[in-house]
Amino acid sequence: MTDAAVPVHSAKVTAQGITEHARTIPAEVPVAFVYDGTTHAVMMASPTDLEDFAVGFSLAEGIIGAPEDMQSLDIVEQDKGIELRAWLVPDRGRKLAQRRRNLAGPTGCGLCGVESLEAAVPSCPHVAADATVTAEDIAAAQAALERAQVLNRHTRAVHGAGFWTKAKGLVAIAEDVGRHNALDKVLGRLRRNGVPTDGGIVLLTSRVSVEMVQKAAVAGAPIIVAMSAPTALALQTANQAGITLVAVARADGFEVFTHPHRIADVSVAKRKNAVEDAA
């Protein structure tokens, strides 16, 4: 199987001169999702955690409703990429055949091939889980994700996603050249291992676009914490889906954009301010 990272050499130019430099860069390969013998999607991705990727992508796309809907999965390395060949249970196969479409695009592209504006921004499931975390929990979760990002430490060129709970800490992590791919891999691993998503935090090192919120909603995850800012549509979608969206999360703090009741410190502060205003 293709390595996740590749050693290369470059000419490093600084004020002191030009020197030979060695570094490691991430591999990026076409990964084709083939269902019942027909290619459905081709994503540029890191060639790691491919079983998790197959399940997570298929769940997020609505192709399967559970890992068991995939009767078999073969990972086949070709000259120009990797094929994930899945065979679906008959009912799922028939449904996919009815809405067959091709999806091929650049790194992390999650909307290429969508046939209508309605399909681009579908309604999300509502997440009603009442999980509560503190500012200290969020800091601990972020620190755990950073420590676990081995590939990014070597390359400084991949996105990370993870899932953290109070009871077990960081229970899943994935890294990929595509931010959507990293999240698909994490959510796929959780479903494959039967890990509940209603009591923890989805962690992202990237910005929060609408597709990332949609994936979290399908998984039933109540809280997203991201290092970068959300888009306006992501914020609107998180609000409608009942997801607590925490972003711009750095060592010195974070911003809570939607449903702050799940962040204990913020909820207390809001109640205190409401009492003071009433007085």
What are the catalytic residues?
109
Residues 6+ apart with CB under 8 A from 266: 256, 260
80 membership: H or E segment, kind and range? none
CA distances from 27 to 79, 116, 185, 219 (A): 14, 33, 16, 28
Residues pairing with 263 in the sheet: 133
Task: Say if CB 257 and CB 272 are below 8 A apart.
Answer: no
Catalogue the E-assigned strands of the chain: 5-14, 17-26, 29-35, 38-45, 70-78, 81-88, 103-104, 159-165, 169-176, 200-204, 223-226, 244-250, 253-258
Taking the C-alpha atoms of residue 90 and residue 175, their distance in angstroms, rounded to an integer, is: 33
Helix (H, G, I), strand (E, B) or coil at 85: strand
Residues 6+ apart with CB under 8 A from 116: none
Task: Say if CB 161 and CB 174 are below 8 A apart.
Answer: yes
